[in-house]
Chains A and B, each alone.
Chain A
């Protein structure tokens, strides 16, 4: 009720501004899925924060890996397997599949 009357009072302009303000982040880490299929990683999620989790899901008929070039993770993914990576620190992490060098992607993690 309080929110509602505030919105009504503040009018259309500030309502528009509110929509673009970043939502306050709770303490709960988010889980983002990257799906692998047909010899490719799905798009890397945007807005990754420290302590978020990337879940790798292999929907392909081939075995793959999600392997960080900085050595921070190396996840073996047989067909239909899943694996998780907890993002421990901010920064850019490039990753690839050890078996199929054309399969690659990049995670961008902010604090």
Chain B
């Protein structure tokens, strides 16, 4: 009778402590945020390059060209900003898991061709942009300390949202 409540109390306390620690650990620093945002753009460029190599569909190719163009533009600004702020982008678990997931997806897509590739690529573009939008809105933008970095991330979020919408149109077109 005594044991159970005290055990529960101990569990509750350690849960509280570990969630507080998790929150502290989850606070992403500007060098990490810069790395994540840059990585997210590079991943989408790599996927688009695969699409440009593989797809025969004009709408898919046009979309892929847009991804290369827009993400290159934003990443160029990101590089200029980190140089100006003397921030050294720092690899981290979020970047690593984005990269690992992208490598897996890239392998899957590489095995496809024709309409099957187009569909899978477009669907993944929707899902990928959705994931990055979520990370930008809930973690990266709120955690960013530097105002210029925050503002660039906000532009990034706007861009990713536009791309998500465009990707959704593309999925609809390919049906």
Q: How far is the CA of A39 from the CA of B163 in the complex (A)?
A: 11
Chain A residues near B77: list those with CB within 8 A.
61
Say how far A65's CB is from chain B's closest CB, in angstroms: 11
Which residue on A lies nearest to B169, using beta carbons?
A101
Q: How far is the CA of A63 from the CA of B163 in the complex (A)?
A: 13
Q: What is the predominant secondary structure among interface residues of chain A facing chain B? A: loop
| B162:A38 contact, CB within 8 angstroms | no
Asked if B123 is an interface residue, CB under 8 A from chain A, the answer is no
Asked if B106 is an interface residue, CB under 8 A from chain A, the answer is no
Residue of A61, A62, A63, A102 near B161 (CB, 8 A) is A102
| A39:B69 contact, CB within 8 angstroms | no
Q: How far is the CA of A61 from the CA of B159 in the complex (A)?
A: 11
A62-B69, A63-B69 as given contacts; A39 in contact with B162, CB under 8 Å:
yes
Asked if B165 is an interface residue, CB under 8 A from chain A, the answer is yes
Chain B residues near A39: list those with CB within 8 A.
155, 158-159, 162
Say how far A104's CB is from chain B's closest CB, in angstroms: 11
Which residue on A lies nearest to B77, using beta carbons?
A61
Asked if B13 is an interface residue, CB under 8 A from chain A, the answer is no
Say how far B74's CB is from chain A's closest CB, in angstroms: 7
How many chain B residues touch A (CB < 8 A): the figure is 16
Asked if B90 is an interface residue, CB under 8 A from chain A, the answer is no
Asked if A103 is an interface residue, CB under 8 A from chain B, the answer is yes
How many chain A residues touch B (CB < 8 A): the figure is 11
| A100:B69 contact, CB within 8 angstroms | no
Q: Which residues 64-111 in A have Cβ within 8 Å of B in the complex?
A: 79, 99-103
Residue of A38, A61, A63, A102 near B165 (CB, 8 A) is A102
Q: How far is the CA of A47 from the CA of B70 in the complex (A)?
A: 34
Asked if B73 is an interface residue, CB under 8 A from chain A, the answer is yes
| A101:B166 contact, CB within 8 angstroms | yes
Chain A residues near B163: list those with CB within 8 A.
100
| A79:B166 contact, CB within 8 angstroms | no
| A103:B162 contact, CB within 8 angstroms | yes
Which residue on A lies nearest to B67, using beta carbons?
A99
Chain B residues near A61: list those with CB within 8 A.
73-74, 76-77
Given contacts A38-B155, A99-B66, A102-B165, 20 further A-B contacts (CB under 8 A): A38-B158, A39-B155, A39-B158, A39-B159, A39-B162, A61-B73, A61-B74, A61-B76, A62-B70, A62-B159, A63-B69, A79-B73, A100-B159, A100-B162, A100-B163, A100-B165, A101-B166, A101-B169, A102-B161, A103-B162
5 CB < 8 A contacts A-B: A39-B159, A61-B73, A99-B70, A99-B166, A103-B162
The 4 closest A-B pairs by CB, nearest first: A100-B162, A61-B73, A39-B158, A101-B165
